[in-house]
């Protein structure tokens, strides 16, 4: 399975919560922070990198 994002885009993405780097989830349908483990979906080839909503 190929990567859903270009390397150039993937290399500049960071977690909005802790600013750490991201990795693909096992199914490559999302991204996961390497440090805080926050998860972000990839929808129609676009990573949705938004911090969690405050309650």
In a domain, 53, yes or no: no
Name the DSSP class of 27: T
Task: Note down the domain range covering 39.
Answer: 7-47
What is the pLDDT at residue 54?
75
In a domain, 52, yes or no: no
E strand or H helix that includes residue 12: helix 7-12
In a domain, 2, yes or no: no
Q: Is the pLDDT of residue 12 over 90?
A: yes
Q: How many domains does the chain have?
A: 1
Q: Where are the beta strands (DSSP E) in the chain?
A: 22-24, 30-33, 39-43, 46-47
User: Which one, of 54, 53, 55, 22, lies nearest residue 38 by Cα?
Assistant: 22
Distance CA 3, CA 31 (A): 11
What is the pLDDT at residue 1?
62
Q: What is the mean pLDDT of residues 23-45?
A: 95
In a domain, 39, yes or no: yes
Tokens of 52: 């969690």
In a domain, 16, yes or no: yes
In a domain, 27, yes or no: yes
In a domain, 15, yes or no: yes
């Amino acid at each position: 399975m190929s990567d859903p994002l270009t390397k150039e885009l993937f290399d500049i993405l960071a977690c909005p919560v802790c600013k750490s780097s991201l990795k693909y989830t096992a199914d490559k349908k999302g991204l996961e922070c390497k440090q805080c483990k926050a998860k972000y979906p990839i929808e129609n080839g676009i990573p949705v990198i938004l911090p969690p909503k405050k309650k």
